[in-house]
Structure 1
Amino acid sequence: MEPLELPLTTDRLRLRTYVESDAEAQLPIFSREDVARFLLEDSWTAEVARTKIVERMRRTGLETESRALALVIETADGLDDIAGSHVIGNISLWFDSDSQEKAEIGWILDPAAGGHGFATEAAIAVLNVAFDHYGLHRVVAQMDARNTSSAKLARRIGMREEAHLRKDWWSKGEWTDTLIFGMLSTDRQTA
């Protein structure tokens, strides 16, 4: 498997690997209670941010020892409505088992950047990499069923809801439901 040429660029975004300064850039997003609510981890502190970013700096491709690709989503320079380049979230792709044909995708976007199609643009770019570069057969996305924004995004990019698992995950003091979406390489008419 050949290394992926990075950064990925779309019309309005640059998806790049992590650097140390991303701890400071991502902290305002991950420290928000409304963002952390649906994640498997608590809100970040500055110390947690530094640790998480160091972990993510190693996730540079499915072909690497990490078996994962973690990318920072930032707006491209020169957008009319946004001055300069801003970190607005992240998106990751990782092998979900020993298989080299199936992976999971996950995304987190700053709520302040929502409603502009940025998450859709980033997710389609990463799905294209998953199927075109890595030749994957299947990509899944799993999320807390209460995370309606994430579920809408999965549907918007052409993923199919395959399961609604009831009260299957103990998270932050309560049982929560999980939604599982999937996309096969042959489903990509909409992605």
Structure 2
Amino acid sequence: MDPIELPLTTDRLQLRTYRESDAEALLPVMSREDVSRYLLQDPWTAEDAKAEVAKRIPRTGLETESRALALVLETAEGLDDIEGSIVIGAIALWHDGESTEKAEIGWILDPAAGGHGFATEAAIAVLNLAFDHYGLHRVFAGMDARNTTSAKLAERIGMRQEAHLRQDWWSKGEWTDTLIYAMLASDRQRA
């Protein structure tokens, strides 16, 4: 399989691989309690940001040793009300277990950038990559059931809720429910 051409671009975004400077760029988002609330990680410290970004730098494609693609969401130059380009979140795609025909997708968006369709735009672009370039059969997203914003995004991009697992995950001192959304190659919509 040929490597993917990066960055991916959409009408308003550039989805690019991580670089060391993203530790500083993502820290204001990932250090927020309201952002990390439904994630498996606690809010990032400056040291966490450096370590987490370092882990993500080699995740440059499903065909690589990492079996993962981790991308930073950056606004395109010249958008109304945004000067220059800014990092607004991240999205990732990774193989689920040993199978190379299915993968999991996950996303994080700065709440300040919410409500403008950026996450939808990025997720559809990554789904198109998953199905068109990688030829995946299935892409799924698992999320804390209390994360209604993420669930609405999954529905908006055409994923179907397949499961609501009751108290299946111990996270941050409590049992939490998990929602599973998925899309098959035959279900998808194009960007």
Normalised-by-shorter TM-score class = over 0.9
Separation (CA, whole Å) in 1 of partners of 2:189 and 2:39 = 30
Aligned to 2:32: 32
Q: Please list every run of at least 4 consecutive aligned residues from structure 1 whose deviation after the TM superposition is greater than 3 angstroms.
A: none
Q: Give the counterpart letter for 1:160 in structure 2.
A: R
User: 1:97: Cα distance to partner?
Assistant: 1.1
Shift of 1:189: 3.7
Equivalent position SS for 1:48: helix
Q: Aligned partners of 2:189 and 2:9: how far apart in 1?
A: 21
Per the TM alignment, residue 9 of structure 1 is displaced from its structure 2 partner at its CA by 0.2
Structure 1 residues 189 and 53: alpha-carbon distance in aligned structure 2, compared to 1, 3 A threshold:
closer
Q: Which consecutive unaligned segments of at least 5 residues does structure 1 have?
A: none
Residue 70 of structure 1 is matched in structure 2 by 70
**What SS does the aligned partner of 2:152 have?**
helix
Output the CA distance in 1 between the equivalents of 2:190 and 2:83: 31
Aligned-residue offset at 1:188? 1.1
Q: Is the 8 A contact 1:164 1:180 kept in 2?
A: yes
Structure 2 residues without counterparts, runs of 5 or longer: none
Preserved CA contact (<8 Å) 2:124 2:190: no
Checking the alignment, whether the CA contact within 8 Å between 2:157 and 2:189 is kept in structure 1 is: no
Residue 127 of structure 1: how far off its partner (Å) = 0.1
Post-superposition shift, 1:190?
A: 6.4
The DSSP-based 3-state class of the residue aligned with 1:4 is: coil
Structure 1 length-normalised TM: 0.99
Q: Residue 102 of structure 2 contacts residue 137 of structure 2 at CA under 8 Å; is this kept in 1?
A: yes
Amino acid in the other structure paired with 2:23: A
Equivalent residues in 2 for 1:1-191, closer than 5 Å: 1-189=1-189
Q: 1:140·1:181 contact (CA, 8 Å) conserved in 2?
A: yes
RMSD over aligned Cα, in angstroms?
0.8
**Length-normalised TM-score, structure 2:** 0.99
CA distance in 1, matches of 2:142, 2:131: 18
Answer yes or no: is the 8 Å Cα contact 1:13–1:76 preserved in 2.
yes
For 1:82 and 1:122, the matched residues in 2 are separated by 18
